[in-house]
Amino acid sequence: MAVLLNVLQAACDAWLGCGLPAPADAVRAAAWSPDAPGTWCAACGSARCGGACGAPVHLGVERVVRLGAHDGALRGWVLAIKHRRWEAMAEHLGGALGRQLAACGAWPPAGQGAVVVPVPMPPMRRWARGIDHAAMLAREVARANGLRVAQPLRQRHAGSQVEAGGRAARLAHAGRFTWRERTRAARAVQGRTVVLVDDVRTTGATLAAAAALLRAGGAGSVVAAVVSVRE
């Protein structure tokens, strides 16, 4: 019986992340807390650029809100959400990201409603992983701020997981998303501030491609909210 239970536990750990600790315990054990607002460049999200990056030109977002750098415990949690389906941690960090958005003064923009849009995932990858991490994060960001979620974007194809730097890579990603024309989601972002949610900002190519399409589709300003930023 004990052997059977061990086998079941191992399978559970491998497939559902059951062996993972409660997120609050993990956060406490790592003595982790979100970066204080104002400690990173609002234009690109990096804590190292010193505000001289010119990122608005490339990212096309009004500002970047983040929880921290993509290293240490935070990096491990981001990866475990995706690869071990750690839904509880996605909820925990999504809530923290929602509160960070408010703490940064990114919400509410004066006199205008906002809509939360997750960066979409290719359907095959979503099926293979069994979790849409950006959608889970977006739901919690929305919940923390009393906003609603809409998904006017679709991933055209799986593309490359690795985002190389540079202009060529950004252009290669420009055609990555398509606009869901004449849908309720497309109408929902018209003239609105969009809070674009993803787990990691690597080069910013993904955010830039999504933001460009959102603006082309009629969104007002776009604010990016990411859990972590690769420095």
53 binds Zn ion (CB under 5 A): yes
209 binds Zn ion (CB under 5 A): no
Choices 38-46, 114-122, 167-175, 179-187; region in contact with Zn ion by CB under 5 A: 38-46
Figure out which of the listed residues 27, 44, 200, 208 binds Zn ion, where binding follows CB under 5 A. Answer: 44
Could you tell me the smallest distance in angstroms from the CB atom of residue 204 to Zn ion?
A: 10
41 binds Zn ion (CB under 5 A): yes
C-alpha–C-alpha distance, residues 179 and 227, integer Å:
25
Nearer to Zn ion, 42 or 197 (CB): 42
Could you tell me the smallest distance in angstroms from the CB atom of residue 42 to Zn ion?
A: 8
Figure out which of the listed residues 43, 197, 200, 207 binds Zn ion, where binding follows CB under 5 A. Answer: 43
- Token pair for 10: 């191992």
Which residues contact Zn ion by CB under 5 A? 41, 43-44, 49, 53, 55
